[in-house]
Amino acid sequence: MPYETVIGLEVHAQVLTQSKIFCGCSTRFGAPPNSQTCPVCLGLPGTLPVLNKKVVDACIKLGLATRCQIAPFARFARKNYFYPDLPKGYQISMYEYPPATGGQIEIVCNGESKTVGIVRIHMEEDAGKNLHDGAPDGSYVDLNRAGIPLLEIVSAPDMSNAQEAVAYLKALREILLYTGVSDADMEKGNFRCDANVSIRPRGTTALGARAEIKNLNSFRFIQKALEYEIKRQTAILEEGGRVVQETRLFSVQRGVTSSMRSKEEAHDYRYFPEPDLMPLHIDEAWIASIRETLPELPDAKRARFIATYQIPSYDAGVLTGTPALARFYEEAVAAFARPKEIGNWIMGDFLGMLNSEGKEIDQAAIAPGQLAALVAMIDSGQISGKIAKTIFEQMYKTGADPAAIVEREGLSQVSDRSELSEVVDAVIAAAPKEVLAYRSGKTKLMGFFVGEVMKQTGGRAHPTQVNELLRDRLKERPLIV
Ligand code: ADP
Ligand code: MG
Ligand code: ZN
């Protein structure tokens, strides 16, 4: 390939606050249209914004978590444009003086790690929402979102394919979740991404003309949109054409991007300092007080999981995916120290069931101690791994203790030799043809015998013992037909 791809991402993350950024209106999701508005967020003349300090705290916190420098001075700016969902005719955003700059996020992609630069993190207000459905005679505007606090996180153009872009977004989303800065719920639009893509001859350093793909809100669509766009631009360059700098939209239905408008430049927005808000002076004491609230971050937790629990880095990656998942895992391992086995249960059956219901692990009926108890029962040979799966399903549905389920349904593993002997003898007596074949060399039939014993015992027979007994009985005994 004579070309290489350059991708830079702008993410808008909704800050997890009770009230909006410049007024006291609620940020609750799903309220009836325009029920969470006031003169300030409706942009009525004569109103003044009052800054929500929690949003600044969150911006500093995310800046620290992404290894940014925190600026001692920051200032809001007006970004002017006209659109029906923007009642003031400008958005209060930030321009020359963002609070956080020059950070980094580590990503791992196909087993290789890479550092992606964070250019800046700043605060701004969200706009409202135009609704085009259900209005026969035009469109409606819902301003519940107007004034919702956002952080804009701008990456350096450091990613070179769609997979890396997705890895970056996942890593950033994890940091947002861990720090509690945002719930980063993509379905609610609380984590949205604009992707900037360009292509250049491999080995050159100048950036090519870029397309900006707007408002992507699922990892799958981001990946698809980028892959499409990379192909499109490469084809243009291969034909000797030129990519035009523009804003494009991705169509989920058609899987293609198409031109939306020519890309606006910063000067089109007539940025100027926001006169209704005082500049921010962020002193060391403020920064230090926020630093104290930083939790163990995903990278550090992953490294600790690998070192402490001796699990593969893949497992550590999955198990630290959300704070709730990591907490569940650690509590379960604390109750029964089989880190690999407990991890396997979580990563396999458990996450599968949770995902199919769109649930987080802390919404599940199973408690960490109960999973630990299940693994302990397998470990001691009280139940077989196979039966454990059935028990787990019931635990998931009812939240019952595994011991109670085993008791109620009589699922304990049969490892009593005399009881197993009887079953084995009966199976052998009932299958003279197979016994003959086995003894004349068709040893593959062992599987058939084991299967029969399992059938008779409802899968509860101890597999090793069944094998031992069968081998013994099938060996030298003279054949009586
Ligand atoms: P704007 O404010 O117009 O969106 P910025 O210069 O702030 O533009 O860049 C926004 C994003 O675009 C950043 O994430 C940056 O890394 C990325 N970017 C800028 N130029 C390119 C380019 N030529 N190719 C790919 N990404 C780019
Ligand atoms: Mg942009
Ligand atoms: Zn309001």
Q: How far is the CA of 153 from the centre of ligand 2 (A)?
A: 11
Q: Read off the pLDDT band of 475 (50, 70, 90).
A: confident
Q: Read off the pLDDT band of 480 (50, 70, 90).
A: low
- The CB of 155 under 6 Å from ligand 1? The reply is yes
**pLDDT tens digit string along 170-218?**
999 999 999 999 999 999 999 999 999 999 999 999 999 999 999 888 9
Query: Strands, DSSP E only, in 188-343?
Result: 191-201, 211-216, 246-251, 256-262, 272-273, 280-281
- The CB of 156 under 6 Å from ligand 1? The reply is yes
pLDDT at position 479: 54
Look at 52-61, 168-177, 429-438 and tell me which has the smallest mean pLDDT: 429-438
pLDDT at position 213: 96
Give the relative orientation of helices 446-456 and 417-429 as an angle to the nearest 10 degrees: 120
**pLDDT tens digit string along 340-375?**
999 999 999 899 999 999 898 999 999 999 999 999
Mean pLDDT (whole number) for 65-91: 97
Q: How far is the CA of 155 from the centre of ligand 2 (A)?
A: 11
> How many angstroms from the chain centroid is the CA of residue 309?
22
For a substitution probing ligand 1, which of 4, 96, 154 has the most ligand atoms within 8 Å of its CB?
154
- The CB of 150 under 6 Å from ligand 1? The reply is no
**pLDDT tens digit string along 303-326?**
999 999 999 999 999 999 999 999
Does residue 144 register a pLDDT over 90? yes
DSSP secondary structure letters along 376-389:
HHHHTTSS-HHHHH
40: Cβ contacts below 8 Å, ≥ 6 apart:
22, 23, 25, 47, 48, 49, 50, 147
* Residue 286 in tokens: 């403020």
For a substitution probing ligand 1, which of 10, 12, 262, 269 has the most ligand atoms within 8 Å of its CB?
10
Nearest-atom index, ligand 1, CA of 9 = 14
Q: Where are the alpha helices (DSSP H) in 120-277?
A: 162-179, 219-238
Q: Note the ligand closest to the C-alpha atom of 153.
A: 1
Q: How far is the first Cα of the chain from the last one, in angstroms, to the nearest whole number?
A: 73
For a substitution probing ligand 1, which of 196, 260, 261 has the most ligand atoms within 8 Å of its CB?
196
Report the DSSP beta bridge partners of residue 259. 248
User: What's the rounded Cα separation, in Å, for the pair 374 and 137?
Assistant: 60
User: What's the rounded Cα separation, in Å, for the pair 38 and 25?
Assistant: 7
Q: Note the ligand closest to the C-alpha atom of 211.
A: 1
The SS3 of residue 339 is: helix
Give the relative orientation of helices 463-474 and 446-456 as an angle to the nearest 10 degrees: 120
Q: Read off the pLDDT band of 381 (50, 70, 90).
A: confident
Q: Give Rg (Cα) of the chain.
A: 30
- Say if CB 366 and CB 401 are below 8 A apart: no
Q: How far is the CA of 10 from the centre of ligand 2 (A)?
A: 7
Residue 220 has phi, psi (to 5 degrees) of: -65, -45
Average confidence score pLDDT of the chain: 93
- Say if CB 58 and CB 16 are below 8 A apart: yes
pLDDT at position 411: 72
* Residue 2 in tokens: 């004579």
> How many angstroms from the chain centroid is the CA of residue 150?
19
Q: How far is the CA of 248 from the centre of ligand 2 (A)?
A: 12
* Residue 153 in tokens: 């996180």
Does residue 168 register a pLDDT over 70? yes
- The CB of 413 under 6 Å from ligand 1? The reply is no
Whole-number percent of the chain with pLDDT over 90: 78
Q: What is the pTM of this model?
A: 0.84
The structural domains of the chain, ordered by start, are 3-289 (no CATH), 298-409 (no CATH), 417-473 (1.10.10.410)
- Say if CB 323 and CB 178 are below 8 A apart: yes
Q: How far is the CA of 10 from the centre of ligand 1 (A)?
A: 8
User: What's the rounded Cα separation, in Å, for the pair 127 and 136?
Assistant: 24
Whole-number percent of the chain with pLDDT over 70: 98
Residue among 427, 363, 425 at smallest CA distance from 396: 363
Closest residue by CA, ligand 1 atom 17: 8
- The CB of 9 under 6 Å from ligand 1? The reply is yes
154: Cβ contacts below 8 Å, ≥ 6 apart:
8, 9, 10, 118, 119, 120, 121
Closest residue by CA, ligand 1 atom 18: 8
Mean pLDDT (whole number) for 389-407: 92
Q: Note the ligand closest to the C-alpha atom of 149.
A: 3
- The CB of 198 under 6 Å from ligand 1? The reply is yes
Nearest-atom index, ligand 1, CA of 263 = 3
Q: Read off the pLDDT band of 481 (50, 70, 90).
A: low
Q: Read off the pLDDT band of 1 (50, 70, 90).
A: low
Residue 17 has phi, psi (to 5 degrees) of: -125, 160
- Cα torsion 261, 264, 268, 271 to 10°: value is 130
User: What's the rounded Cα separation, in Å, for the pair 192 and 215?
Assistant: 6
Q: Where are the alpha helices (DSSP H) in 210-266?
A: 219-238
Does residue 380 register a pLDDT over 60? yes
